Amino acid sequence: MFHVVGAGLAGLSAACALASKGARVTLYEGAPQAGGRCRSYFDPTLGQIIDNGNHLVLSGNHAIMSYLSTIGAKDALAGPAKARFDFVDLAANKRWTLAPNEGPLPWWTLSKSHRVPDTNFADYAALAGLMWAGKDKRICEVIPCDGALWERLMRPFLLAALNTEPETASAALAGAVIRETLAKGGHAYRPRIAHPTLGAAFIDPALGYLARNGVQIHFGRRLRRIVLGDGQVTALEFSEATIPISRDDMVVLAVPAWAAKELLPRIAAPDDFRAIVNAHFKMPAPAGAPLILGVIGGTAEWIFSFSDRISTTISGADRLVDMDRDALIALIWKDIASALNITEPMPEWQIVKERRATFAATPEQAAKRAPTNTPWSNLFLAGDWTATGLPATIEGAVRSGHKAAALALAREAV
């Protein structure tokens, strides 16, 4: 029997991977619903289903694509046929479309019509320094953190990927993202977003898949204690009951870093986190609005256009989480109205704040990430905070679940 604790994306991907191999699985989740920080819910203020946040996926995120294929949701992501990224610089009143070519040879950087305005090929070549940066290096110790390319592409891109001010963030984690996306060519970073919601793309199909494969799912089951003995887990103590764990049972713990640390004080885990602020407006996006729009020089950073709402995401948002909601939403709407050429008054809105959205992607915090294996023979860790080699992203969360499942299956077979 395999016991998976936590039904965020890491736990769901672990449970689905186990179920796909015919394993007997029980899934426990402390909240009333699955999804963790990747969830959708009905918001009574807007009278519609919204996501707690907007998550950009890239076509080269192979773990996500494998996960979606397993749960029967391959068509749940929307995006352009080729890598295209629209930007607006509000301060300079300038718009452009980044249009990379599909292959790994970046000839697009030689074309003014394809690259960022006011940049040249040499600017892009300098990014190669990030590819194999040391684990103790910060981004600005490896590449120039100034100029048009930095301000109009690399800083917003890295801020979104790392959810940490790029000037202080890990060059190694930035390099991992670049190796898997920008360095492989446009075919690896076509932008994709969940359509119509995160729940419809990532969560509901997974729950359906697990149910069809006989997985027992228990919501409202918060793990209070992991009983350890003789080098293994011997019991899981929930509020409602204690589940005995035999020597042949395997446990995947897929909970946030702080929860894992409380349950297992001996493990390493990041302890510094960064916020994300999302805003949603009950207004259909204007005709012709890009699906995703990067905003330079504003409070809003990425605008997502849906048929029933306009949403925006602001990363590294610790400076905003305690700001007055009315003042904050006014700043955000001003940027959106300008970026999308909207003249109508601000519609109904909602702000969603995740104070501990991800661990701070600094070299110091990255060094605290725990491996999947633990000192206990039948216990494995999953979560975007574990040592995936990537920042705390959806791709990292899914990879961690797949790795935990694979190691648990291998251990069971011994």
Q: Is the confidence at residue 250, as pLDDT, over 80?
A: yes
Q: Which residues pair with 232 in a beta bridge?
A: 229
Per residue in 101-129, pLDDT (tens digit) is 999 999 999 999 999 999 999 999 999 99
In 3-state terms, what secondary structure has residue 160?
Answer: helix
Backbone angles phi, psi at 282, to 5 degrees: -80, 80
Amino acid at 310: I
Measured distance CA(233)–CA(225) in Å, rounded: 11
What does the domain layout of the chain look like in residue ranges?
2-76+199-271+369-413, 102-189, 274-359
Give the helix/strand (H/E) hosting 329.
Answer: helix 325-339
Beta carbons within 8 Å of 353's beta carbon, 6+ residues apart: 275, 276, 277, 278, 317, 321
- The answer to whether the peptide bond before residue 244 is cis (omega within 30 degrees of 0) is no
- Whether 2-76+199-271+369-413 and 274-359 share one fold: the answer is no
Classify domain 274-359 by CATH number: 3.90.660.20
pLDDT at 75: 94
Q: Is the confidence at residue 80, as pLDDT, over 80?
A: yes
Q: Is the confidence at residue 412, as pLDDT, over 90?
A: no
In 3-state terms, what secondary structure has residue 352?
Answer: strand
Mean pLDDT computed over 233-239: 97
According to CATH, the topology of domain 2-76+199-271+369-413 is FAD/NAD(P)-binding domain (3.50.50)
Per residue in 14-72, pLDDT (tens digit) is 999 999 999 999 999 999 999 999 999 999 999 999 999 999 999 999 999 999 999 99
pLDDT at 89: 98
Per residue in 170-225, pLDDT (tens digit) is 999 999 999 999 999 999 999 999 989 999 999 999 999 999 999 999 999 999 99
